[in-house]
Amino acid sequence: MKLLIIEDEDSLLRSIIDYFTQEDFLCEAASTYQEGMQKATDFQYDCIILDINLPGGSGLQLLEYLRKHKNADGVIIISARNSLDDKIAGLDLGADDYLTKPFHLTELYSRVKALLRRKYASSSNVIEFGQLKLDLLLKTVSYSGQSLLLTKNEYELLLFLLTNKNRVVSRQAIAEHIYGEQTDNLASFDFVYSHIKNLKRKLKEKGGDDFCKQYTAWAINYQYD
C-alpha cells in the first residue's frame, strides 16, 4: 500500500513516515503545496494524508483540485484547525476523513486502515476475487482455502492488480507501486515480469489455472508482451 504524506511540520512528517514504514506501507512525502500537488497528480496512491496549512497554499484547495480532476485516491485531512467549518469544508470537498492535531499515530493508522477497507474490501478486511482472498490486515493470501506464500513484492503486485482490475496499468505504474521513488534508479522494469511469472506459478500450484486465465485477461492489460 502506498501513502503520500503532505505535511510541512518536519518532526510530524518523520514520525508518520517511520510509523507507517514499520507497518509495511510505502511512504512518500511532500512538505509544500506545490510538491504535494506534483506528486498527487503524477502518481497514484492508496491514501493521501493531507495537512491544511501548507507553505504555498491550502490543503483544501489541493483536495478540491484533485477531486475536480477525478483523482480518487483516499484522503485523510490532518489539521490543527479544530473548527466545525473546516471539517465540513474538507468532507464536502471529498475528504474521506478528518483528524485533528495532535493525534496518536495509532489512531491515524486505524483511520487509514478503515479507509482502505471501505475503498477496497467493503465491510471486511478481505478482498475477494473468485477463489482468491487477500486479507489486508493480516497481509495473507489464499486461493480456494489454501494459503499462498508470497514475497512482499508479489503481495504488493497482486494487491495493486486487484485494486486496479478494471484499468490498464503499465509496467512502470506497477514498478512505482512496488518501489516508489526508487523507481528512478532502476535500469529496467523487467523485474515486474518475473514477479508476475512467479505469482502465476504459485497460483497454479494451488489449482488456480482458471484464475490465471481470467487473471491474464486483465493482467495482460499491461503494456508488455
Residues at the contact surface with Ca ion, assessed by CB under 5 A: 8, 51, 53
- DSSP, collapsed to helix, strand or coil, labels residue 143 as strand
Neighbours of 199 (CB within 10 A): 24
* CB 58 to Ca ion: min, Å: 10
Half-sphere exposure of 200 (CA within 13 A, CB side): 16
Cell triple for 92: 464536502
* CB 55 to Ca ion: min, Å: 8
Q: Which is nearer to Ca ion, 53 or 221 (CB)?
A: 53
* CB 95 to Ca ion: min, Å: 16
Q: 212 Cβ partners below 8 Å, 6+ apart?
A: 200, 203, 204
* CB 150 to Ca ion: min, Å: 38
* CB 7 to Ca ion: min, Å: 6
* CB 9 to Ca ion: min, Å: 5
Q: Which is nearer to Ca ion, 102 or 145 (CB)?
A: 102
Contact 76, 84 (CB under 8 A): no
Q: Which is nearer to Ca ion, 51 or 97 (CB)?
A: 51
Q: Which is nearer to Ca ion, 78 or 159 (CB)?
A: 78
Neighbours of 165 (CB within 10 A): 16
Q: Which residue is nearest to Ca ion (CB)?
A: 53
Q: Which is nearer to Ca ion, 81 or 139 (CB)?
A: 81
Q: Which is nearer to Ca ion, 93 or 162 (CB)?
A: 93
Contact 9, 32 (CB under 8 A): no
Of 220, 5, 219, give the one whose Cα is nearest residue 112. Answer: 5
Rg (CA), the chain: 18
Alpha carbon distance, N-terminus to C-terminus of the chain: 26
